[in-house]
Amino acid sequence: MELGKIGTAELTVTEDVTAKAVGSGSLTVFSTPHMVALMEEAACSCIQDDLENGQSSVGTKLDIAHVAATPIGMRVRAEAKLTAADGRRLTFAVSAFDDSGLIGEGTHERFIISTEKFLGKTYAKLG
| pLDDT tens-digit readout, 50-69 | 999 999 999 999 999 999 99
Q: Is 2 annotated in the active site?
A: no
Q: What pLDDT score was predicted for residue 16?
A: 98
Q: How far lies 110's CA from each of 60, 90, 127, in Å?
A: 5, 5, 27
Q: What pLDDT score was predicted for residue 75?
A: 98
CA 4 – CA 106 distance, rounded (Å): 16
Residue 1 confidence (pLDDT) above 90: no
For the chain, which residues make up each domain, given as ranges? 6-126
Task: Provide mean pLDDT across the span 86-105.
Answer: 98
Q: Is 66 annotated in the active site?
A: yes
Q: How far lies 19's CA from each of 64, 69, 122, 123, in Å?
A: 17, 10, 30, 31
Q: Is 32 annotated in the active site?
A: yes
Mean pLDDT of all residues belonging to the chain: 98
Q: What pLDDT score was predicted for residue 60?
A: 98
Task: Provide mean pLDDT across the span 96-100.
Answer: 98
Q: Which of 18, 34, 40, 70 is catalytic?
A: 40
Q: Which of 28, 32, 83, 107 is catalytic?
A: 32
3-state secondary structure of 21: helix
Specify the pTM. 0.96
Nearest CA to 123 out of 115, 97, 109 is that of: 115
Q: Which of 15, 34, 60, 66 is catalytic?
A: 66
Contact partners, residue 99, CB within 8 Å, separation at least 6: 74, 75
Q: Number of helices (H) and strands (E) in the chain: give both, helices first.
A: 3, 5
Q: Let me know if domain 6-126 sits in CATH 3.30.70.270.
A: no
pLDDT band at 83, cuts 50/70/90? very high
Residue 10 confidence (pLDDT) above 90: yes
3-state secondary structure of 50: helix
Q: What amino acid occupies position 21? A: A
